[in-house]
Structure formats: C-alpha cells, structure tokens
C-alpha cells in the first residue's frame, strides 16, 4: 500500500496525550450547551452537532487511512447511503429510528462488502481512484432516483423517534444523542485498533507481504475493516439526515469524500481523536470563511496546499511540535 | 518410508525470455538442513518465492509433507507450517521487535477476528514471543521499534519471526546477507541449535556457514540443479567446482 | 429504435471517447512517469474552454482564439507546476490528492470570480456549423465530426511520437520504470516537463473543442475528470494505448447505455419501471464495467509496468 508519515502517537493507552485529549474533547462537547445558553444557542448546537456527525465518519476514515494505509476517496458514499435510508423510509411513512438505523447500517455494510471486494484487489493509486469512482456511482444513482427527489433531494418529514420517544426532536436532546454516538464510535474504534484484529490490520499497512507470510489472509482483514468503517459512515449519514431533515445526492459526492479526507488529514492521521479535531477545524473554517466572502474557496484551496506542504501531521502534529519546542 | 517434508517436482518459471527455474526437482529429508547455493542470478530467491507462494511456477508441483500446495496462496502455506525469512529484510518497522514476533505467535493462537481486548496485553502471546527473542539473543532489544534496530539485529529478528510460527519447514533466504562477523557467528550458533527440530532449507552465499551447517547441498546454476548431495561430495564435484565453487574457494 | 439513431449515438459515443482520450492521455503519463496523482488535471480542460471564450470575445476569430487559448493554457499549467505540483513529487499519494484538491477549489472559484457562475458558450465557426448527411436519414453535426477527426488525428500523432521518436521512447521507458531511466542519466524532471506540458495542452485542446457544444461553467472539469480516471484505471496506468482503448470503450458504453437503457429494460420490465430504473442503471454502467475489469485485471488492461 502507500507509505504514509508516522502516526503522531503510537496506540498505547498511557496517561499521555492519547488518554487525556479525547476526554477533554468530549467534556468540552458535553459542556457546550450550557455555555451556549447565552446568544445563538440553536445555531451553535446545530453547528456542533454537524461537527460531531462528520467526526463519526472521519474517525472511521482515519481507521482506514491512518491505521490501515487504505486511502479511501469514497467514504461519503456510506454517509449518503445512511442518509437515504432515513429519507426513503420516511417517504414511505416509517420514521422509527429503531428501523432506520439498522437499515442504514445494513445498506452501508453491504455496499462496503460489494465494493470493498473489488477495491481491495487494487493497490496505491488504483485504490484511490476506484473508491472515488464508486462514490460517484452512488451519487449518480441517487441523482436519477426520481421518486426520491433525484437531483433536488428529498425532505425528511420529521426526525426519527427512538422507541417511540422523540429524543431527537429537541435541539439539545438531539445534540446529546449525537454526542453519545460519537463517544461510542470513538471507543469502539479505539478498541478495534488495539485488538488482535487491529494488530493484524495495522501490521498489513507496515508490510502486507510479511503479515501474509505469517499466515494471515490480508485481503479478508482489510475487507472486514472496510465494511466496519463503512458502517460507521452509515451511522453518520443516519444522524445527518435527522439533523438537516433533508437528504440529497450531494451527501455522497466525491467532493464530500474529499472533505472527509481533508478532515482526517487536518486533524492528524492515525490518532482517531485527531479526526474529531479535524472535523471541527474544517466545519468552523468553512463557517467563518464563507461569512467573509462568497469566494472563500479561493482562500481555502491554497490553505489546504499550505497545510499539506508545511503542516505535516495536522493539528495533532503541530501540537506535538509545540509541546516539544517548549523551553 | 516417510513422506518428504518438501518435494519439488519439475518446476519451471520463465520471466519473459529468461528461464529462471529450469526443471528443478528436489527432495528435502525429514530433519535435515538442506542448503541451496549458487552464483548471483542463479534463481535462488525465485525458487524460494515459488515455494513460499509469492510467485506461481509456470509448470511443476510443490508438495509440503505430501500435500500439493502449488496452487495455495502464501498465507495458506504459512498456516500449513511453511515459514520463511526474506532476503531483503521484511519486518514491521513501527512495531517493536516483541510485537513483530507476537503477531507471528498470534497467527497460531486461535482466531484473530477478535475486536475487543488489548492484543499487546495478552500474556501468553508476549511470553512466547519473549522466549523466541531470548533464544535468538535479542532479549534486551525487544521493545525497540524495529526501524531503530541495527541491520544484523533485524536479520536475527527475521529468524525469530519465522521460528515463532512453529514451522514444519523453514525457508531461510540469505539470513546472513550483509551481517558482520559477530552477527554471522551468532546466526550460525542459533541455526545449529535448530538443526534436527524441523527441516530447514537454507539459501546462502556464506560458504563457511553452509559447509558448517548443511546435511546436504544442492547447487543451482542458471536455474538448474547441477548437483545435489552431502557437502563433501558436492565440494569435490568437478562440474560444481568449475562452475561455482572454484571461484568461491580461491 | 432505428438504425440511424443507433449510428448517431455511436458517433456521439466516439466523440465523448475522443475527448476523454485527450484528457486521459496526459493524466496517465503523468501518473506513469512521475507517480503523481493530479486531481487538478480537469481544471486544464476547463481553462482551455474559458480561455477560448475569452479570446474569441477579444478577437472574433476562432482559429486565433484556439491558438491563444492553447498557449495560455500551457503557460498557466506550467505556472501551476512550478508553484504547486513540483513540491509534491516526493510526497505520498494522500498529500498529492489533498493538495491538488486545493488547486481545484481555488481554480473553480477563481473562474467563478472572474467570469461569473453563469454558463458561457462559444459559437461554432461558420463553415463548420450545420449538419452533414452521412446516410439517408442520418444527419450529424459537422462540428462533432471535427472533434472526432481531430481527436483521432491527435491519437495517431501521439502514437507516432511515442513509438518512433527518442523522446517517446524515453517517455515509455519512464512510465515503465522511472528510477531506472533516471539512473541511466536521463534528466527525468526535464522529461516530465515535456510530458506535463503536452498533457496540459491536450486537455486544454479538448476544452476548446467542446466549448461550442457544451456549457462552459465552473466545475465542468470535475465530472469529466472522474470519467478520465475510470478510463486510465481500466486502460492501465502509464499506457497511451490503454487510455485510447479505455476512452473509446467508456465513451461508447456510457453514451449507448444512457440512450438505450430504458428501451432495453422495456424488454424485461413494464414501461414505468423501465423508465425509473433505466437512467439509474445507465449511470452506474461504466462503474460496473470498471469493477468487472479491475476484478479480473487489478492493474488495468494494458498497464505500463506489466502485470
């Protein structure tokens, strides 16, 4: 696979950055609604819900890219599939989250299985392009689904209920539901990385031939990881559709896939919590810059280039350099 | 009448116009250390690659303890007990020496499709790995990420990884490539201690090591086996001396 | 479904294929020789179109606009290479993808900034406008024929250059094994500049040629770039021959698929289902094709680096 820069932090649970940073992040997220009691509360809650939703997808993508060396440029497809599960079910009158979420998961997992089986036979540049192409395929398919809005997208009648409770209908309550999913996703991915499975998967990134010669069917491990990562993407999509109460093919465009990769890179590859920071940085930068000028992409584009050229390791890497540079 | 641990039957391999493996037939006897020698470019690594499953032969059969493995992928052969070390050091750079070996042990210790529970805290895996590293003399360096190990230490680690797989057949592809005097001595001692436990196929250039360790030697020249037999016989074979050993022994 | 409709769509498929080839040729060589993932290649195509529109507005002469557009597209491409791409050759693919993504964002927005978001167009030169009768009942636009012929001519030219000239041989060698070529004393960077410049002009040329028949708008390079990726993935990275055959295949399959999917499905399904499923299936067709090819040949049909 592709040679990537060393992960900023090795996956060892010590009382180090790796233990403390996620706690701080989650505590900050949990405290936000209280701090935001003054001012545009609804706006801030919606904004940070959005950040957390993308963070879930970004964490899963970091699993693939940062730990597995699999540069998937089609991750948005999973998010879109999860969202459309909610949308299509809603169009047929089903708005129970306990139905929509499993459907979203199954759809994403199956798509991951089918496309992963093809993608993972390829290497390097081919892998990047074939994942991107599959994402486009889902995008075009959704665009041509006339009964479900086609190009224009589909409005979701109302947010899902969970076991009958309207947990997601209130902005603050929804926020905490999303936070719960984020923490759960993070912990699950963290466990996965340190597990036997995770060790084989990480080893395959270091040297796939060596791992195969130890007796591991590398393809199978990578496929399972790909399906798992895709499923988290589906969860993200399920929450996204509920957040915006709208689904659109744009959710699965290759631009969105690119944005997810940018988030992971901005935060710092191979740390998991970096993906959360990257999602926050991206969404906030987008919010701020688009407020400055409608041509904000002319600023963001070069910013990306500069980050790639000079800020290796993203935010986590930069923080590491700063802490090492202390006198 | 016992089944040979490894049997090669009329293997052929061609790269474009170049015949790299030319009708190679070979039998490894139980418990023996069988060396394969030959000049550079003779096709030794290609042969090892075919045995371990990296390359597929164009024709011929490979049998591991009587079982036809010619069509099996690399990982399946490893599960059957075929372990190899690589000529160009092939370890996991950011993993520690211990983790490298522990991963090899893990492959033979039940399913690795376990998604919970810290693998690096499994005492059974770590203990076995540590024992392996102690046996090859890397005990003090076991927590060092392998990218920081010296070249000779990595060669020894290669061996430790292969041993951790509890091989029924060990393929060693130039384990002493690029090692200094001291490391070479250490490797020879380790290999001597392994003799008899399981059959070993040793590809090597270091003639002193080969003649010190081998029970039988096969000479590979331009993809063909020129001679095969005990060291004294091979050493005295005029064809072998003319083609290869003559230069080596000067 | 009549024969003439089928022939028209085949010609349309060839036209798309030829345009795809012009874009894919540069892309595949850049990958092959420098191992550089250039997502921003599509903006060269877009710039060709916009520059042609601009120069036509200034000169009122298509031929002049074409030449000026090609020249300035080349200059802009080299500028991008100097400012951004050059620093990425030693980086891993992920960095290259993100950085070139940044270039796309910048140029797409820049184009919107300079020319606005509304689609622009370019009139077809007088003598080449109108349609020609190829067969009784078969009327086909002259300009589209010009595109097909021009594309085939360029393909032939490239084939001659790559097969029979010294530079061409170096390019082929570089696509097969760049470090080796460099070790043999060839200035691989200079070779790459030639390849890059050529690829840029090919993409720009494609942009100029489609400007009269497609809407010139920001982001027009993006969707065709993805198609070009599918082309080179199917054809094999580093191979001009693969890019040519892949491009024609994709062009034909996509065009014919879109035109006849509904009709074909009507043989198996009822009309309304066919009308729903048809377009969806048609848009998936080339990706399914790509999946099938890669399943059997993970390195494409004619990879430069061998199987």
pLDDT at residue A39 in the model: 66
pLDDT band at C211 (very low <50, low <70, confident <90, very high): very high
- Closest residue by Cα to residue C53 from C177, C167, C166, C209: C209
- Closest residue by Cα to residue A240 from A90, A54, A26, A88: A54
Closest chain A residue by Cα to residue B52: A213
- What CA–CA distance (Å, rounded) separates A117 from A112? 8
Q: What is the mean pLDDT of residues A168-181?
A: 89
| Any domain includes A7 | no
Q: What's the complex ipTM?
A: 0.88
pTM equals 0.89
- What CA–CA distance (Å, rounded) separates B116 from A198? 9
DSSP string, C235-267: H-TT-HHHHHHHHHHHHHHHHHHHHHHHHHHTT
Rg, chain A, Cα only: 19
Closest chain B residue by Cα to residue A193: B115
- What CA–CA distance (Å, rounded) separates B238 from B243? 8
Rg, chain C, Cα only: 20
- Closest residue by Cα to residue A223 from A138, A119, A305, A95: A119
Which range marks the domain in which residue A174 is found?
A: 17-324
What are the pLDDT digits (tens) for A61-95?
A: 999 999 999 999 999 999 999 999 999 999 998 88
Contacts of A207 in chain B (CB under 8 A): 90-93
- Ordered by where they begin, the domains of chain B are 6-249 (3.40.50.300)
- What CA–CA distance (Å, rounded) separates B82 from B39? 25
Closest CB to B103: pick one of A13, A203, A217.
A203
Could you report how far apart the first and last alpha carbons of chain B are, in Å? 41
Could you report how far apart the first and last alpha carbons of chain C are, in Å? 41
Check if the beta carbon of residue A189 is closer than 8 Å to that of residue A272: yes
CATH of the domain at A33: 1.10.3470
Contacts of C230 in chain A (CB under 8 A): 129, 133
DSSP string, B70-85: TT--HHHHHHTTEEEE
pLDDT at residue A252 in the model: 93
What are the pLDDT digits (tens) for A17-33?
A: 677 888 888 888 888 88
- CA distances for C72 relative to C27, C113, C114, C201, angstroms: 19, 19, 16, 9
Contacts of B113 in chain A (CB under 8 A): 196-197, 224
Closest CB to A125: pick one of C87, C237, C287.
C237
Domain total of chain A: 1
pLDDT at residue A200 in the model: 96
Residue B28, phi then psi, degrees to nearest 5: -100, 130
Contacts of A198 in chain B (CB under 8 A): 115, 119
Residue C147, phi then psi, degrees to nearest 5: -60, -45
Closest chain A residue by Cα to residue C104: A301
Strand-strand pairing, B200-203 and B6-15: unpaired
Contacts of C107 in chain A (CB under 8 A): 301
Q: What is the mean pLDDT of residues A208-235?
A: 96
Q: Which of A257, A269, A304 to mutate to probe the C interface, most C CBs <10 Å? A: A304
Contacts of A214 in chain B (CB under 8 A): 75, 78, 103-104, 107, 161, 165
What are the pLDDT digits (tens) for C115-135?
A: 988 999 888 888 888 888 877
Check if the beta carbon of residue B139 is closer than 8 Å to that of residue B127: no
Closest chain B residue by Cα to residue A189: B115
Check if the beta carbon of residue A268 is closer than 8 Å to that of residue A65: no
C79 at interface of A, judged by CB pairs closer than 8 A: no
Q: Do B115 and A195 touch (CB under 8 A)?
A: yes
Contacts of A202 in chain B (CB under 8 A): 95
C236's tokens:
């094999």
Q: Do A297 and C230 touch (CB under 8 A)?
A: no
Distance in Å, alpha carbon of A133 to nearest chain B alpha carbon: 29
- What CA–CA distance (Å, rounded) separates C239 from C32? 8
DSSP letter at A251 equals G
Q: Which helix (H) or strand (E) holds B152?
A: helix B151-164
Check if the beta carbon of residue C229 is closer than 8 Å to that of residue A132: yes
| Any domain includes A91 | yes
Closest chain A residue by Cα to residue C87: A309
Q: Which of A196, A211, A224 to mutate to probe the B interface, most B CBs <10 Å? A: A196
Check if the beta carbon of residue C195 is closer than 8 Å to that of residue C238: no
Measure CA B20 to chain center. Answer: 19
If one counts every other C-beta atom within 10 angstroms of the C-beta of residue A40, the result is 10
What are the pLDDT digits (tens) for A113-171?
A: 999 999 998 888 889 988 988 998 899 889 888 788 888 889 888 888 887 777 778 88
Closest chain B residue by Cα to residue A4: B94
| Any domain includes A11 | no
- What CA–CA distance (Å, rounded) separates A131 from A126? 9
- What CA–CA distance (Å, rounded) separates A257 from A274? 17
| Any domain includes A4 | no
Closest CB to B120: pick one of A6, A194, A200.
A194
Contacts of A195 in chain B (CB under 8 A): 114-119
Check if the beta carbon of residue C101 is closer than 8 Å to that of residue A262: yes
Residues within 8 A of A (CB atoms), C 115-174 only: none
Distance in Å, alpha carbon of B93 to nearest chain A alpha carbon: 7
What are the pLDDT digits (tens) for C67-101?
A: 999 999 999 999 998 889 988 888 888 999 999 99
Check if the beta carbon of residue C305 is closer than 8 Å to that of residue C299: yes
DSSP string, C109-139: HHHHHHH-SS-B--PPPGGG-SEEEEETTEE
Check if the beta carbon of residue A139 is closer than 8 Å to that of residue A129: no
pLDDT at residue A6 in the model: 46
CATH T-level assignment (fold) for domain C15-120+136-296:
ABC transporter involved in vitamin B12 uptake, BtuC (1.10.3470)
| Any domain includes A6 | no
A198 at interface of B, judged by CB pairs closer than 8 A: yes
pLDDT band at C159 (very low <50, low <70, confident <90, very high): confident
């Amino acid at each position: 696979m592709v040679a990537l820069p060393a992960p900023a932090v090795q996956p060892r649970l010590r009382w180090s950055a790796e233990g403390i940073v996620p706690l701080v992040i989650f505590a900050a997220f949990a405290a936000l609604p209280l701090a935001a009691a003054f001012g545009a509360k609804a706006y801030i809650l919606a904004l940070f819900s959005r950040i957390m939703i993308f963070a879930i997808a970004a964490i899963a993508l970091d699993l693939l890219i940062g730990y597995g060396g699999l540069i998937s440029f089609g991750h948005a497809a999973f998010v879109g599939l999860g969202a459309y599960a909610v949308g299509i079910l809603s169009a047929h009158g089903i708005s129970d989250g306990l139905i929509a979420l499993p459907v979203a998961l199954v759809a994403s997992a199956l798509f991951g299985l089918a496309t992963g089986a093809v993608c993972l036979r390829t290497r390097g540049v081919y892998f990047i392009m074939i994942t991107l192409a599959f994402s486009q395929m889902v995008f075009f398919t959704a665009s041509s689904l006339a009964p479900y809005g086609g190009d224009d997208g589909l409005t979701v009648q109302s947010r899902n209920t969970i076991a009958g409770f309207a947990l997601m209908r209130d902005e603050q309550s929804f926020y905490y539901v999303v936070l719960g999913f984020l923490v759960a996703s993070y912990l699950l991915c963290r466990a996965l990385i340190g597990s036997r499975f995770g060790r084989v998967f990480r080893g395959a990134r270091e040297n796939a031939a060596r791992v195969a010669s130890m007796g591991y069917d590398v393809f199978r491990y990578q496929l399972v990881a790909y399906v798992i990562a895709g499923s988290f993407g589906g969860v993200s999509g399920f929450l996204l559709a509920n957040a915006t109460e709208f689904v659109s093919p744009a959710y699965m465009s290759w631009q969105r896939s690119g944005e997810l990769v940018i988030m992971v890179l901005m935060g710092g590859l191979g740390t998991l919590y970096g993906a959360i920071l990257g999602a926050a940085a991206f969404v906030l930068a987008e919010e701020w810059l688009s407020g400055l000028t409608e041509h904000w992409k002319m600023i963001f584009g070069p910013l990306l280039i500069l980050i790639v050229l000079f800020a290796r390791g993203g935010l986590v890497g930069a923080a590491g350099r700063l802490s090492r540079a202390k006198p | 009448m016992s089944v040979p641990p490894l049997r090669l039957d009329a293997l052929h391999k061609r790269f474009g116009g170049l015949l790299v493996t030319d009708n190679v037939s070979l039998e490894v006897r139980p418990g023996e250390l069988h060396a394969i020698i030959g000049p550079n470019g003779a096709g030794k690594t290609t042969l090892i690659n075919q045995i371990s499953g990296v390359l597929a032969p164009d024709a011929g059969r490979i049998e591991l303890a009587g079982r036809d493995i010619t069509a099996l992928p690399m990982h399946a052969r490893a599960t059957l007990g075929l372990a190899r070390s690589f000529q160009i050091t092939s370890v996991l750079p950011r993993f520690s020496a211990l983790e490298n070996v522990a991963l090899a042990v893990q492959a033979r210790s039940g399913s690795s499709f376990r998604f919970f529970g810290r693998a690096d805290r499994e005492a059974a895996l770590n203990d076995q790995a540590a024992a392996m590293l102690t046996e090859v003399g890397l005990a003090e360096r076991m927590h060092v990420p392998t990218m920081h190990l010296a070249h000779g230490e990595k060669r020894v680690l290669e061996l430790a990884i292969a041993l951790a797989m509890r091989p029924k057949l060990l393929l060693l592809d130039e384990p002493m490539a690029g090692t200094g005097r001291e490391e070479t001595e250490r490797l020879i001692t380790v290999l001597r201690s392994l003799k008899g436990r399981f059959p070993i196929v040793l590809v090597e250039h270091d003639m002193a090591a080969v003649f010190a360790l081998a029970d039988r030697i096969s000479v590979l020249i331009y993809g063909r086996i020129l001679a095969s037999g005990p060291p004294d016989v091979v050493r005295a074979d005029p064809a072998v001396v003319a083609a290869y050993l003559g230069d080596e022994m000067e | 479904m009549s024969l003439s409709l089928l022939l028209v769509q085949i010609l349309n498929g060839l036209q798309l294929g030829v345009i795809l080839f012009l874009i894919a040729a540069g892309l595949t060589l850049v990958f092959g020789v420098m191992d550089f993932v250039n997502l921003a290649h599509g903006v060269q195509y877009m710039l060709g179109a916009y520059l042609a529109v601009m120069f036509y507005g200034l000169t009122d002469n298509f031929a002049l606009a074409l030449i000026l557009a090609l020249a300035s597209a080349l200059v802009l491409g080299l500028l991008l290479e100097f400012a951004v791409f050059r620093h990425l050759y030693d980086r891993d693919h992920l960095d290259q993808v993100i950085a070139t993504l940044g270039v796309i964002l910048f140029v797409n927005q820049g184009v919107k900034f300079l020319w606005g978001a509304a689609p622009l167009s370019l009139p077809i030169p007088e003598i080449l406008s109108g349609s020609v009768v190829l067969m009784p009942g078969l009327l086909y636009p002259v300009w589209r024929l010009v595109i097909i012929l021009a594309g085939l001519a360029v393909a032939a030219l490239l084939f001659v250059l790559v097969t029979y000239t010294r530079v061409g041989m170096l390019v082929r060698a570089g696509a097969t094994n760049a470090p080796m070529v460099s070790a043999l004393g060839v200035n691989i960077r200079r070779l790459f500049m030639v390849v890059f410049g050529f690829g840029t002009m090919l993409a720009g040329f494609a942009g100029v040629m489609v400007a009269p028949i497609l809407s010139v708008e920001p982001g027009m390079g993006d969707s065709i770039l993805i198609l070009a990726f599918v082309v080179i993935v199917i054809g094999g990275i580093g191979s001009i021959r693969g890019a040519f055959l892949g491009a024609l295949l994709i062009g034909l399959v996509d065009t014919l698929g879109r035109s006849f999917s509904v009709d074909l499905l009507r043989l198996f399904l009822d009309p309304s289902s066919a009308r729903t499923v048809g377009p969806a299936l048609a848009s998936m067709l080339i990706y399914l094709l790509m999946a099938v090819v890669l399943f059997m040949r993970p390195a494409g049909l004619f990879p430069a680096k061998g199987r």
